Copies of this chain bind each other. A is one copy, B any other.
Amino acid sequence: MSTDERAAFRSPTLDTVAAAAGVSRATVSRVVNNSAKVSADVRELVDATITRLGYVPNRTARSLAKRRTDSVALVLREADATVLADPYLAAMIIATSRSLVGTGVQLVLVNARDDPEHGTLADYVRGGHVDGVLLASMHADDPLPRILVEARVPTVVGGRPERPVPGLAYVDCDNVGGGRLAAEHLVGTGRRRIASIAGPPDMTAAADRLTGYHRGLAHAGLPIGPIAFGDFTRVSGERAMTELLERAPDLDAVFAANDLMAVGALRVLRAAGRRVPEDVAVVGYDDVELASLTEPALSSVHQPVSEQADTMTELLLRQIGGAAPGDPVLLPVELVRRDSS
Contact B59 A293 (CB under 8 A): no
Quick check: is A272 within 8 A (CB to CB) of the other chain? no
Contact A11 B108 (CB under 8 A): no
Contact B2 A58 (CB under 8 A): no
Q: Looking at the complex, which one of B57, B84, B102 makes contact with A94 (CB distance below 8 Å)?
A: B84
Hey, which bits of chain A sit against chain B, CB under 8 A?
1-4, 6-7, 9, 11, 56-61, 63-64, 67-69, 71, 74, 76, 81, 84-85, 87, 90-91, 93-94, 97-98, 100-102, 106-111, 113-114, 123-124, 126-129, 152, 234, 263, 267, 270, 289-290, 293-295, 320-322, 324
A90 and B94 contact, Cβ closer than 8 Å, known pairs A7-B67, A107-B109, A128-B59: yes
Taking CB as reference atom, which chain B residue is nearest A6? B152
Q: Looking at the complex, which one of B1, B100, B114, B324 makes contact with A324 (CB distance below 8 Å)?
A: B1
CA distance A321 to B2 in the complex (A): 7
Residues of B within 8 A of A11 (CB): 126
Q: Looking at the complex, which one of B2, B58, B152, B324 makes contact with A127 (CB distance below 8 Å)?
A: B58
Contact B322 A1 (CB under 8 A): yes
Q: Looking at the complex, which one of B81, B91, B109 makes contact with A109 (CB distance below 8 Å)?
A: B109
A263 and B293 contact, Cβ closer than 8 Å, known pairs A6-B152, A67-B7: yes
Residues of B within 8 A of A294 (CB): 293-295
Contact A322 B9 (CB under 8 A): no
Residues of B within 8 A of A109 (CB): 74, 93, 97, 106-109
Q: Sort A-B residue pairs by CB-CB distance and give the 4 closest, nearest first.
A: A2-B322, A90-B90, A59-B129, A59-B127
Contact A3 B322 (CB under 8 A): yes
9 new A-B contacts, CB < 8 A, other than A57-B127, A71-B108, are A3-B320, A6-B152, A56-B123, A60-B64, A81-B98, A97-B109, A102-B114, A270-B295, A293-B293
Question: Shortest beta-carbon distance, A28 to chain B, in Å?
Answer: 16
CA distance A128 to B69 in the complex (A): 12
Question: Shortest beta-carbon distance, A40 to chain B, in Å?
Answer: 24
A94 and B101 contact, Cβ closer than 8 Å, known pairs A126-B11, A128-B58, A324-B1: no
